[in-house]
Amino acid sequence: MPLDHKDKTTFRTFGRAKGRTLTASQEAVMAEHWPRLSIAPGDALPSAADGKPLWLEIGYGMGSHVLHLARTHPEVNVLGAEPFLNGTAKVVRGAAEEGLDNLRLFRGDVREFLEPVPDASFARVYILFPDPWPKARHNKRRLIRTAFIQELSRVIEPGGQLTFASDIPHYVDWALTRFRSHQRKNPGAGFAMNDRDPKQPPEGWPGTKYEAKARREGRTPYWFEFTREG
């Protein structure tokens, strides 16, 4: 049986899309800045207008890393995709306060956003601590699946970079098995793992909320970096 034989069905990969009701101040910040910061599926990508490289962070949670990317890489357009409203409101506030003009956000399932995206659009993609869905009956909800790796290989340019982090050994094995299998079946268009120590965070790593929780609970985070062949 092939890996992920049910890939034709799109299972929901995230938990909650909303937490506490936004405060009046968060609502006001959203009302003022969301129209400028948001991007919808099918919209022209910012790099089509200014030619800067485009990076994507999938599932930015409370947003510390996506804000860090936009802040430290003004030469890049950064996109973030995340269904969670409260994290999105935090990122919108941060972007407004820091005057970041190279950040756009999609609130929803990244798979819906990617569908109309042209091939080879992204120079770099981050998937940092995707929901682990540790129970066997929930494994099918994991974002890293054969069909999703296929989609990533379509939208990441040849030579582009992909970073995947997880603190769950079973998810690490699950993901690496699928990346290797995809690479075998798609010669020249797979993801080749970069030679680095996966226990070391990427350079300049700012930390994320989920990573801190994993460490508090005694789990070891791993970061894997891949180059899209081609």
Ligand X SMILES: C[S@@+](CC[C@H](N)C(=O)[O-])C[C@H]1O[C@@H](n2cnc3c(N)ncnc32)[C@H](O)[C@@H]1O
Which residues of this chain interact with ligand X, rule CB under 6 A? 13-14, 58-61, 81-84, 109-111, 128-131, 143, 208-211
Q: Which is nearer to ligand X, 61 or 190 (CB)?
A: 61
Q: Which is nearer to ligand X, 30 or 165 (CB)?
A: 165
The number of C-alpha atoms within 13 Å of 204 and in the hemisphere containing its C-beta is 9
- Across the chain, which distance is largest between two alpha carbons, in Å? 53
162 and 156 in contact (C-beta within 8 Å)? yes
Output the smallest distance, CB 17 to ligand X, in A. 7
Q: Which is nearer to ligand X, 49 or 88 (CB)?
A: 88
Of the listed 4, 109, 131, 167, which one is catalytic?
131
Give the separation between CA 103 and CA 87, rounded to whole angstroms. 15
Q: Which is nearer to ligand X, 158 or 207 (CB)?
A: 207
Dihedral Cα 135, 136, 138, 139, nearest 10 deg: 110
Catalytic residue list contains 7: no
Output the smallest distance, CB 172 to ligand X, in A. 14
Q: For tokens 């990427």, what's the residue?
A: 202
Helices (H), ranges, 3-159: 24-37, 46-50, 64-72, 85-98, 110-114, 146-155
- Show contacts of 47-52: CB within 8 Å, 24+ apart: 47/77, 47/121, 50/77, 52/76, 52/77, 52/102
Output the smallest distance, CB 130 to ligand X, in A. 5
Q: At what angle are helices 146-155 and 169-185 packed, to 10 degrees?
A: 60
Output the smallest distance, CB 6 to ligand X, in A. 16
Q: Which is nearer to ligand X, 68 or 182 (CB)?
A: 68
What value does the CA radius of gyration of the chain take, rounded to a whole number of Å?
A: 17
Quote the tokens at residue 133: 């869905």
Output the smallest distance, CB 47 to ligand X, in A. 20
Give the separation between CA 84 and CA 178, rounded to whole angstroms. 27
Positions marked active-site? 131
